[in-house]
A = this chain, B = another copy of it.
Amino acid sequence: MSAIERPPKFADIEGAAERLRGMAVRTPLLESEALNQRAGVRVLLKAECLQRTGTFKFRGAYNAISQVEASAVVAYSSGNHAQGVAAAAKLLNKRATIVMPADAPAIKIENTRAYGAEVRLYDRQRESREEIGAEIAARTGAALIRPYDDPRIIAGQGTAGLELAEQVRELGTAPDLALVPCGGGGLIAGCALALIEAFPGIAIYAVEPAGLDDTRRSLEAGHRQVNAPEATSICDALLVPTPGELTFAINRRLLAGSLTVSDDEVRGAIAFAFRQLKLVLEPGGAVALAAVLSRKLSWSGRTAAVVLSGANVDPVLFAAAITGCSA
């Protein structure tokens, strides 16, 4: 096993935090009385929706690319990893090519191009993004930056959890629970490493879209399960076929379980965040909030940390969610 194939450790998150100092936003920890009342627990919100590029993905991308020797990078992504890689590559003076599904939200494709990356569109049903990415890497010498199954990515995402732990301590409290959105599992794996180091007794739950609950089923089975190919959700940022190998090695060990939320519950969470929190959230970024609002657990604790992970949302979908119309 090479270093890149081993799961990261807590020290790798501390190293990532050093690399990201002054580059990533130390996103605020927010609280809302209206939310506390609705949830029945004290909820502390880590607003990664205010991160550079609109999601936590910048953290992992910057941490990985800052350790790459090649002068170019390539990545495949439904959109948020694309923007993170494009923005990080630009800051680190490397060329970036991003392989994106042709049906990704227009705003994500536009933003990726705006960061100076070259975009290669592909057909989600007929082409393999992994194959396209590997082909570009082999042909051009660009380093492949995977979206989650890379210890540098996981460690970078974990810096969100490291900050969260610091910020919760600054409030003089400790969370009993943490709820984190989960697609490939990089964010929650990194956050779990950081949070358990700070709060050994914490119960950490993944939150997934209904029908795309590969992590929930994988945790129950003890090995990785696959989603039905036709499964879909408005949570475009969380559409993955199966948990990552490295991420699941961590998540299997550290997570208490996984909760699922429906698209309607996600729309409700987007509307709540608009009305009460004054934050813009994308569907995938709102799943953990949706789980809290829908009281998916009989909370055994008193304080829950919730990660709001992204905000790159289509305006028409958002407008429909906040006005209560269907998009």
Contacts and interface: CB of A to CB of B under 8 A. Distances in A.
Interface of A: 25, 28, 30-31, 33, 49-50, 52, 54, 107, 271, 274-275, 277-280, 311, 315-316, 318-320, 322-324
B318 A278 contact: no
Nearest to A34: B114
A142 B319 CA distance: 41
11 contacts: A25-B31, A30-B50, A49-B278, A50-B279, A54-B278, A274-B280, A275-B315, A278-B279, A280-B280, A318-B322, A319-B323
A275 B53 CA distance: 10
A50 B276 CA distance: 9
B315 A274 contact: yes
A50 B311 CA distance: 16
A195 B70 CA distance: 47
A311 B278 contact: yes
A110 to B, nearest CB: 10
Contacts of A277: 50
A44 B29 CA distance: 19
A54 B107 CA distance: 27
A278 B319 CA distance: 14
A273 B295 CA distance: 31
A129 B25 CA distance: 44
